[in-house]
């Protein structure tokens, strides 16, 4: 049984000062996917780049202090693919894929549509390009795709759906894309096991949102439909602090 973790750390240098290395050791995962590392490799302390028992692969944005993803693995991958061969997306360090013998592991940081939905066109272009990319992978072998999707799919996935219908992360276009993605042959693994409301992965730093559990579920593990039987569990680790997001977990055989 393999254990995978995905976590938007909102700055790897910041979370390193909040016990990151100890948290990772405690998670005891085979693969750890991080989003929003907000650093170039040379800006990171050695303690973060060389965690005992893991090899780290980093794909940073060209712009300093922005976006970027990192994947830590216990098992050596067969290959590592940086980006999805689209310059505008890859410039922002958004997708990192590790290939193993019987599956691909895709770590993705989806764009935020931003206030006023000013990046919605870009976000939808990214989403569609990434969907085409993972569809191609799924034709070869099993696919696990995880990360911060920056969308709450359904009303159950955020505290205040009505107030957020025109806001980034819950706009109709974003939710329609998620419908399309799942309809095209992918599975939201958390909802295989848990249909309860109040299950969130991100909370605003304002209004004591986290302590009041006023949140959004925008971080996911998805698998291709053919591999659904390989999923044996999925959970949200809301008790783990250090970021405005918490880690999510997938058990996979």
Catalytic residues: 148
Closest CA to 117 of 83, 77, 48, 167: 167
For the chain, the residue count is 253
Helix (H, G, I), strand (E, B) or coil at 76: coil
Angle at which helix 172-183 crosses helix 120-138, to 10 degrees, equals 10
Contact predicate 15/34, CB 8 Å: no
Residue 5's contacts (CB-CB under 8 Å, 6 or more residues apart) are 27, 29, 31, 32, 33, 237, 247, 248, 249, 250
């Amino acid at each position: 049984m393999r254990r995978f973790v995905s976590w938007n750390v909102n700055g790897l240098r910041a979370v390193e000062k909040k016990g990151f290395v100890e948290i990772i050791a405690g998670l005891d995962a085979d693969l750890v996917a991080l989003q929003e590392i907000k650093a170039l490799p040379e800006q990171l302390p050695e303690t973060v780049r060389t965690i005992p028992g893991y090899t780290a692969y980093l794909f940073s944005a060209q712009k300093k202090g922005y976006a970027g993803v990192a994947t830590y693995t216990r098992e050596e991958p067969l290959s590592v693919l940086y980006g999805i061969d689209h310059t505008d997306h890859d410039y922002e360090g958004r997708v990192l894929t590790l290939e193993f013998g019987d599956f691909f592991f895709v770590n993705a940081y989806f764009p935020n549509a931003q206030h006023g939905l000013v990046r919605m066109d870009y976000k939808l272009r990214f989403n569609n390009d990434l969907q085409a990319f993972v569809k191609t992978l799924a034709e070869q072998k099993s696919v696990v795709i995880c990360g911060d999707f920056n969308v709450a799919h359904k009303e159950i996935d955020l505290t205040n759906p009505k107030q957020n219908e025109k806001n980034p992360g819950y706009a109709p276009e974003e939710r329609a894309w998620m419908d399309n993605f799942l309809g095209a042959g992918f599975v939201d693994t958390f909802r295989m096991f848990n249909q309860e409301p109040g299950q969130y992965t991100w909370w605003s730093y304002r209004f004591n949102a986290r302590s009041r559990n006023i949140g959004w579920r925008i971080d996911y593990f998805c698998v291709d439909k053919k591999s659904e039987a390989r999923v044996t569990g999925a959970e949200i680790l809301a008790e783990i602090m250090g970021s405005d997001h918490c880690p999510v977990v997938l058990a996979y055989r």
